[in-house]
Structure 1
Amino acid sequence: MTLTFRLFVLFTLVAGTAYSAEIPVRSGAHDTFARLVLDVPKEKKWSLEKTATGISVTITGHTDGFDISRVFDRIDQTYVSAVDGDATSLDIKYGCECQAEVFRSGSMLVVDVSALTTGSTDKNQNIGLSSLQFVGSTQLRFTPDQPGNELPVSNPPSSLDAPVAEEAPNFLLSEAPSTMEVSSLKKAQEQLANRIGFAATTGILRPSDLSVTVPQRQQRPQIDTSIFNSSIQAFEEEQTGPPSGNLRITSSSDVPNTEVRDTSTTLGMQCIDPVEVRVQDWGGTTSFATSISLLRGALFSEFDKIDKNVAVELARLYLHFGFGAEAKQVLLMDADLAPANRALVDIADVMEFGSAQAENYLGNFTDCDSDVALWAILSAQNLRPSSSVDSSAALLSLSSLPIHLRNFLAPVLSRKLLKYGDEVAAAAALRGLERTVEPLPSAAELAKADIELTRGDVEAAQGRLEAIVASNDQQSAEALIRYVNTQLDAEIEIDEDIATLVEAYAIEMRNDPLGEQLQSTHVLALAKSNQFDSAFDVFQLMRPSGSISDAETLYSTLLFLLAQNANDATFLKHAFPAIAERGNVMSTKTTDALAQRLANLGFFAEANKFLSTQTGTPVTRQRKVLLAQISLGLSQPRAALAHLGGVAGDSADSLRAQANINAGYHDAAYKLFSGLGDEDGRTRAAWLSENWQQFLGSDDPVLGPMAEATSSRLDISNTSTGMLNRMQGALEESATARRAIEQLLEAHPTHGRLQN
């Protein structure tokens, strides 16, 4: 069986969020601070300014304001008393003696407002911003004890790389330092900064991706949005060595980093303990059969009462080996088990269905920096573009799973991340499987085909889909649906064998969740292989049964393919019954295609009647041009000119010129044809115009001699040299006029026959 390929696909790529609307301001309540989150793309610059009552955040280039309607849905006015904004700036008013800490996290700008730290006396320094300072195992700060001995402090920058502590330890002596000591400390600070700068310039020192733990500072959850790097050791392995803070040394003896994990989501919801989802640790120490036997034997006591601890352990063992239905069955054996182990229920649904089926508990934790992120993403049926997702943590957790779970879960994760818009992470989810010696499973091949289609590499995707179909695997039917769908907008037919194969799968899997898609794909495959009679027969059989949930969309697509590809006889056979039916909902594209085909075949009245019955569809530029063409076919040139009002383009000007000729506006038609470069139209308009002599010169190949002949005058003055000379001049002019008329008749033989 041979499959025919043709490169064409249309995908809307979304590369980022377009900022042509208000920026929503979300909030989250914490014990010791209030958090505000703004969705601001990475390429957008922002600035921060202190006001008399709080701070003002300005987004450069943004002019559409902020949506602050839901700011106080999650927080009270303890730390933030009011939030207001104009077109470009967001004003935040403190509700206490507060300080603000602002930092960027990927495509989000985060503002944390908290009370001033006890002992802080400088109320002007109430904006937490990072300055160029060394951050090692402790924060190096120079804090004068007495006025007059302060070191000069430069203005902090308007963006934050790593928040600094509100209160730092004092490394100086308890008594006030002398001028010499202050000078020595300043010199040491400058030397240290120079050395750090030199190390950073030569590549020995670079910023670390991990958060910084600062002594004597309340720990607040930060958002880790660093891109997953497979070269970093697994975070679950305990690391030793001195912490490196926000500087990473990349010499021959690298200093390992200390892990600092987020403990809450962006909006303040406390992340669950990663131990609850550590599926990779639930395998047991014996074989699967032995472990199952032992646990099932201990599941009930001698009084037939279920042991809940054993039930949970048994469910976890099932999940480790990928048995979701069995795990969920165990959890439903007692009324208290499922509510107490909601994470296990969601994981069981993921194993069985690919996402959580009931109330999605894990879906609230997609941006937790732990193993929780993986199962939260997998449990979500559809990730919203506005959701905050920690794909790095999910990929790291995926790589720690046993291979039998990775083979199943990696394609699922890849497709969810691809739908979310993270193409890089979607490809990374499959990369771990490609490194194994085993061939990629069909599900992973199908996920790779989706990535290739998103990138526009249709030819490679078609080859991959063909191989999946030929493998006769579990994913073959889904790959066949993808294959047919990628051909819908192509200008070539598909083989009839493909339609036959789709029909076979549709019959075999009629009770499967894919059954409805296969039935719809069968209709489209018949149409794409020019088997329109069979396509309409199959559709009419399925239509009354209600087996297709979106029958109107399928019918509209079928009629569009009919208008585009069917021969004239087949088109008329199926088009007239379709347009005669009342209540058919067709897309604008299908409506225009049917009317255009009718007009091309000369059925102008039928096309006009059909368009008049399609109410509620937008009058696009294409529709206006089509209505003008139909009006000309119905000998209504002035209606055509009305339809073309405000429509530009050569096709519109060509119809406008023809409508002007038909309406008798030959001078306007002559100018339009001249602008289009249509010599035949220009000559015809000039010939019909009463002012044709003004439009034509003597060098015109057809009407030029005629214009010259009609403009000549006989010399009848008394000053002529004699009658014979006058007669000879008249004969010459007559001969010239005759030649011009003969040339005109040769150029327009139809006119000559009509005159004769």
Structure 2
Amino acid sequence: MIRTLAVAVAAGLAAAPLHAAEGGPILSGEHANFSRLVVRIDPTTEWSLETTDGRVTLFIPGKEIAFDAARVFEKIPRTRIGAVTTAIGPEGTSVAVDLTCDCRVSTLFVKGRHLALDVSDRDAVLPAPESLPAPETAEARDLRETAAVEAAEQILLRQIERAAGQGLIELADAGPPAPPQAEAETGADAAAEAESEPAEAPPALPDPAPPARPESDAAPTLPVALTARGVPEAADLAALLEHEQIQATTVFDRERAKALAEMAEPEVAVECLPDDAMDIARWSDGRPPFEQIVDLSSHLLGEFDAPDPATLARLIRIDIRFGLGTEAEATLASFPQDFENRALLLDLARAVEGRPLLPDGPLSAAESCPGAHGLWSAIAGSGPALPDAEHFETIHAAFAELPPDLRALVGPALVARLLDAGRTEAARLIQDTTTRPETAQTSALTIVGARLAAAEGDPQAGIHALSALIEADAAAAPEALVHLARLAADAGLPLPDRHVTDLRAAALQARGAARAADLRLLLAESLAVRGELPDAIAEIRSALIDLPRDPRFAELAVTLLAAADPERVGHAAYAETVLASTTLVSADPASDPARRAIARRLLDLGLPQGAREMIEPAAAREGEAARLLLAESWLRSRESARARDILAGIEGPEAARLTAEALALDGDFAEAGAVLREAGLPEAADDYAWSSGDWPRARDEAAPDPERHAMAEFMVAQTEPEEARPASPDPSTLDAEEAFVEPLPGLERPSLDAARRLLATGRQVEDFVQALLAETPPGGAPAAN
């Protein structure tokens, strides 16, 4: 019974496939001319790649694999890939990739467990096809299959021992020994194999036909797969265990695999190449390039037109030395013979012209290496431009050792990468090293020089240099125009009409191309900087129709609406454009700052209803700043009750000020002043002293203003009688304030003197009162002078 159970367990385990941990976060990486997405799936997992208009879908049938695309865009922009979504359904798992460019998509497996999707530009060169291997001989196939079977046997035995040690199966007692012949043939090999590690199995080939077997009525004791491979039949479990063909996965193994899957897999260190392998300055013997190329070409082919590897390598190096990367790559493609550093020379041939590297080249790994390796990785865009200060010293030293003409060729690309990384000082060092021997000024040097000047705080100088380049060099004009528009937009400087026209024409000419979206984004931003907000929003609306899957246009619309200045755009144009563009501002929390800025400007323009419609989605999320703006919009509509309901529970000076306005709108001026004083705003509270009749406070508050002070003094005297002041000898000499408080003459005994005094003070008092009334707005506190 035990023996039968053990055989059943072993056979069942043999049929179970081994799966590596799958799923998890979708990794991403950005390269010069391609963007890469990496998903983890087992190499044996079935998958397909479906391509439709603007979308690529990786479909894995029959499996539920949890992929996480939340952090895809932390390391890549949305220039080629607009969105990545995952879904699990009854038919399987899918990963959909929305493309924002007319790009080529290719796949490859990395390290045997990661499937990489490369979205590359159409002009990126594909890897040269590898030559087919020589046909396998029968003897080589036998050796390979024997090694595979023996390796599988050892793996199986270890797995069964582990399962037995953990109590999952019970091994039977040792049965009768194997036949002597089999023991003699396999004993030595098994002992030797036990001392060595199992060899990596080569690609599987069809199983050979089963050998002829004598007819027998006995039931087979080995799995059919073992018999089909010609392994001698075993009489019992002990013989079966000598042929490992299964893997036992226990509960301990399963939990350990889960824990390992949650841990970050350490990156495999990339070997940094020595500087001698890229000592380009010594690749030329000093003669003109065409003489060296002709000389080497004449000695390239030998007997039977077979190329000499050493001469071929020297010819490739000469092409690279003088910047002929395309010619070097074409020569490599024409002669597939292998030689030392062939892959490195292919990478250098592409890097020297600024073209993207092949994914598996020695310079393509994004690792931090010093010296020449780090230099060419930085130039090619596969490695960091400035990994750290120590490495950059060696990178700069390697750059300084390049010949001047080669520095002028590759220097602009390195300066541009450093500027993109925000390393202005390092970019200046490379730029000065490039132009140190008074190298002829090329278009590329002018462009990066302009960018560098802007990064150092002088955008006007950069814009002037690029404008001159546009006028003088038609070939470089499109690229210079893009950089000029970018510098002007970043500095808030309006483009001249002619450059806006050129930019509009370039965007129209590029429709359907990968760079069309970038040009249209730049055009919209340039129009907004000029104060032409309606035209900028119109351009964005048109682009949203043509490129609906590019999220950058909607994001730019929100940015431009939030940053627009009504004084520059014009009050009417601003209000009309903003009120017609509310649908462009998403209801997501990320748009709340923009909603607050737009609502503030609409309130300042006297458009409370438009401000209210803009701010209500943000206020619904309980944001205090948004609720304050919403309350203010109701106040401007004279809806004090609604404003007070919104302000309930909000503390702070602004909330107190708005609450006081709501109370004053209802006529409760005394409570309005009390709210402000409680909030620590006594000066603001004093403004309501006039309207509430708090004359002592009004008198103290209006001390700097003679007219208001006199009025307050008079009212205090009326409510709090004091000792009567003596009459002035000559009322005609009194100023307005003194005349206002001058005691009236007694009229119980009329006299000419009393009449004269009354007329003299009356003229002053009338002017005084008229001035006070003119300064007091209806229904509110008196306006301060």
Q: Normalising by structure 2, report the TM-score.
A: 0.51
Instruction: Say if 2:547 is the partner of 1:546.
Output: yes
Pairwise CA distance, 1:459: 3.3
Q: Which residue number corresponds to residue 497 of structure 1?
A: 498
Instruction: Say if 2:707 is the partner of 1:701.
Output: yes
Q: Which residue number corresponds to residue 467 of structure 1?
A: 468
Larger helix share, 1 or 2: 2
5 Å matches for 1:442-521?
442-472=443-473, 474-488=475-489, 493-508=494-509, 514-521=515-522
The more displaced of 298-307 and 369-378 is 298-307
Query: C-alpha separation between the residues in 2 aligned to 1:752 and 1:618?
Result: 35
Q: Using a 3 Å threshold, how does the CA distance of structure 1 residues 726 and 584 change in structure 2: closer, same or farther? A: closer
Instruction: Say if 2:630 is the partner of 1:627.
Output: yes
Task: Tell me if structure 1 keeps the 8 A contact 2:378–2:384.
Answer: yes
Query: C-alpha separation between the residues in 1 aligned to 2:637 and 2:572?
Result: 23
C-alpha distance after superposition, 1:11-39 (max 9, x if no partner): xxxxxxxxxxxxxxxxxxxxxxxxxxxxx
The more displaced of 360-369 and 666-675 is 666-675
Query: C-alpha separation between the residues in 2 aligned to 1:526 and 1:428?
Result: 35
Q: Using a 3 Å threshold, how does the CA distance of structure 1 residues 456 and 396 change in structure 2: closer, same or farther? A: same
Pairwise CA distance, 1:356: 3.4
Q: Which residue number corresponds to residue 686 of structure 1?
A: 689
Instruction: Say if 2:610 is the partner of 1:610.
Output: no
Q: Using a 3 Å threshold, how does the CA distance of structure 1 residues 371 and 464 change in structure 2: closer, same or farther? A: same
Q: Which residue number corresponds to residue 402 of structure 1?
A: 403
Pairwise CA distance, 1:348: 2.4
Query: C-alpha separation between the residues in 1 aligned to 2:281 and 2:300?
Result: 22
Q: Which secondary structure does the structure 1 equivalent of 2:581 belong to?
A: helix
Q: Which secondary structure does the structure 2 equivalent of 1:543 belong to?
A: helix
C-alpha distance after superposition, 1:213-270 (max 9, x if no partner): xxxxxxxxxxxxxxxxxxxxxxxxxxxxxxxxxxxxxxxxxxxxxxxxxxxxx99865
Task: Tell me if structure 1 keeps the 8 A contact 2:385–2:421.
Answer: yes
Q: Which residue number corresponds to residue 17 of structure 2?
A: none
The more displaced of 497-506 and 683-692 is 683-692
Q: Which secondary structure does the structure 2 equivalent of 1:352 belong to?
A: coil
Instruction: Say if 2:769 is the partner of 1:747.
Output: no
Q: Using a 3 Å threshold, how does the CA distance of structure 1 residues 533 and 353 change in structure 2: closer, same or farther? A: same
Query: C-alpha separation between the residues in 1 aligned to 2:564 and 2:461?
Result: 29
Query: C-alpha separation between the residues in 1 aligned to 2:422 and 2:722?
Result: 84
Q: Which residue number corresponds to residue 559 of structure 1?
A: 561
Q: Which secondary structure does the structure 1 equivalent of 2:519 belong to?
A: helix
Task: Tell me if structure 1 keeps the 8 A contact 2:368–2:374.
Answer: yes
Pairwise CA distance, 1:537: 4.1
5 Å matches for 1:549-698?
550-560=552-562, 564=566, 565-580=568-583, 587-613=591-617, 619=623, 623=626, 626-637=629-640, 655=658, 657-662=660-665, 664=668, 666=670, 668-669=672-673, 672=676, 684-689=687-692, 691-697=694-700
Task: Tell me if structure 2 keeps the 8 A contact 1:301–1:307.
Answer: yes
Q: Which secondary structure does the structure 2 equivalent of 1:606 belong to?
A: helix
Query: C-alpha separation between the residues in 2 aligned to 1:434 and 1:674?
Result: 68
Q: Which residue number corresponds to residue 136 of structure 1?
A: none
C-alpha distance after superposition, 1:51-93 (max 9, x if no partner): xxxxxxxxxxxxxxxxxxxxxxxxxxxxxxxxxxxxxxxxxxx
Query: C-alpha separation between the residues in 2 aligned to 1:354 and 1:368?
Result: 20
Query: C-alpha separation between the residues in 2 aligned to 1:289 and 1:657?
Result: 87
Query: C-alpha separation between the residues in 2 aligned to 1:540 and 1:448?
Result: 35
Pairwise CA distance, 1:683: 6.3
Instruction: Say if 2:719 is the partner of 1:711.
Output: yes
Pairwise CA distance, 1:461: 3.0
Query: C-alpha separation between the residues in 2 aligned to 1:315 and 1:620?
Result: 67
Pairwise CA distance, 1:666: 3.5
Q: Which residue number corresponds to residue 272 of structure 2?
A: 271
Q: Using a 3 Å threshold, how does the CA distance of structure 1 residues 678 and 484 change in structure 2: closer, same or farther? A: farther
5 Å matches for 1:378-417?
378-381=379-382, 383=384, 390-417=391-418
Q: Using a 3 Å threshold, how does the CA distance of structure 1 residues 528 and 440 change in structure 2: closer, same or farther? A: same
Q: Which residue number corresponds to residue 522 of structure 1?
A: 523
Task: Tell me if structure 2 keeps the 8 A contact 1:595–1:610.
Answer: yes
Task: Tell me if structure 1 keeps the 8 A contact 2:554–2:584.
Answer: no
Pairwise CA distance, 1:440: 2.7
Instruction: Say if 2:314 is the partner of 1:313.
Output: yes
Task: Tell me if structure 2 keeps the 8 A contact 1:284–1:317.
Answer: no
Q: Using a 3 Å threshold, how does the CA distance of structure 1 residues 385 and 350 change in structure 2: closer, same or farther? A: closer
C-alpha distance after superposition, 1:519-559 (max 9, x if no partner): 22222223333444544443333322228562222322443
Q: Using a 3 Å threshold, how does the CA distance of structure 1 residues 506 and 726 change in structure 2: closer, same or farther? A: closer
C-alpha distance after superposition, 1:643-665 (max 9, x if no partner): 5977767x777656534533635
Task: Tell me if structure 1 keeps the 8 A contact 2:378–2:385.
Answer: no
Pairwise CA distance, 1:671: 8.4
Task: Tell me if structure 1 keeps the 8 A contact 2:451–2:462.
Answer: yes
Pairwise CA distance, 1:467: 3.0
Task: Tell me if structure 1 keeps the 8 A contact 2:354–2:379.
Answer: no
5 Å matches for 1:98-497?
270-284=271-285, 286-296=287-297, 307-333=308-334, 337=338, 341-353=342-354, 356=357, 358-359=359-360, 361-362=362-363, 368-381=369-382, 383=384, 390-472=391-473, 474-488=475-489, 493-497=494-498
Task: Tell me if structure 2 keeps the 8 A contact 1:300–1:307.
Answer: yes
Pairwise CA distance, 1:431: 1.3
Query: C-alpha separation between the residues in 2 aligned to 1:613 and 1:577?
Result: 17
Task: Tell me if structure 2 keeps the 8 A contact 1:360–1:380.
Answer: no
Pairwise CA distance, 1:579: 0.9
Query: C-alpha separation between the residues in 2 aligned to 1:423 and 1:514?
Result: 26
Name the aligned partner's letter for residue 747 of structure 1: L
Larger Rg: 2
Task: Tell me if structure 2 keeps the 8 A contact 1:350–1:378.
Answer: yes
Pairwise CA distance, 1:602: 2.8
Query: C-alpha separation between the residues in 1 aligned to 2:685 and 2:370?
Result: 73
What percentage of aligned pairs have identical amino acids? 19
Pairwise CA distance, 1:632: 2.2
Task: Tell me if structure 1 keeps the 8 A contact 2:408–2:435.
Answer: no
Q: Using a 3 Å threshold, how does the CA distance of structure 1 residues 624 and 346 change in structure 2: closer, same or farther? A: farther
Q: Using a 3 Å threshold, how does the CA distance of structure 1 residues 637 and 331 change in structure 2: closer, same or farther? A: farther
Task: Tell me if structure 1 keeps the 8 A contact 2:364–2:383.
Answer: no
Q: Which secondary structure does the structure 1 equivalent of 2:574 belong to?
A: helix
Task: Tell me if structure 2 keeps the 8 A contact 1:552–1:584.
Answer: no
Query: C-alpha separation between the residues in 1 aligned to 2:609 and 2:672?
Result: 28
Query: C-alpha separation between the residues in 1 aligned to 2:309 and 2:622?
Result: 62
Query: C-alpha separation between the residues in 1 aligned to 2:511 and 2:369?
Result: 40
C-alpha RMSD of matched pairs (Å) = 4.8
Q: Which secondary structure does the structure 1 equivalent of 2:441 belong to?
A: coil
Q: Using a 3 Å threshold, how does the CA distance of structure 1 residues 673 and 454 change in structure 2: closer, same or farther? A: farther
Give ranges in structure 1 of 5+ residues lacking alignment: 1-265, 717-723
Q: Which secondary structure does the structure 2 equivalent of 1:371 belong to?
A: helix
Q: Normalising by structure 1, report the TM-score.
A: 0.53
* Corresponding residue pairs, total: 478
Task: Tell me if structure 2 keeps the 8 A contact 1:465–1:480.
Answer: yes
Name the aligned partner's letter for residue 558 of structure 2: S
Query: C-alpha separation between the residues in 2 aligned to 1:477 and 1:643?
Result: 54
Q: Using a 3 Å threshold, how does the CA distance of structure 1 residues 524 and 574 change in structure 2: closer, same or farther? A: same
Q: Using a 3 Å threshold, how does the CA distance of structure 1 residues 675 and 317 change in structure 2: closer, same or farther? A: same
Name the aligned partner's letter for residue 601 of structure 2: R
Task: Tell me if structure 1 keeps the 8 A contact 2:313–2:339.
Answer: no
Q: Using a 3 Å threshold, how does the CA distance of structure 1 residues 529 and 299 change in structure 2: closer, same or farther? A: same
Query: C-alpha separation between the residues in 2 aligned to 1:522 and 1:385?
Result: 32
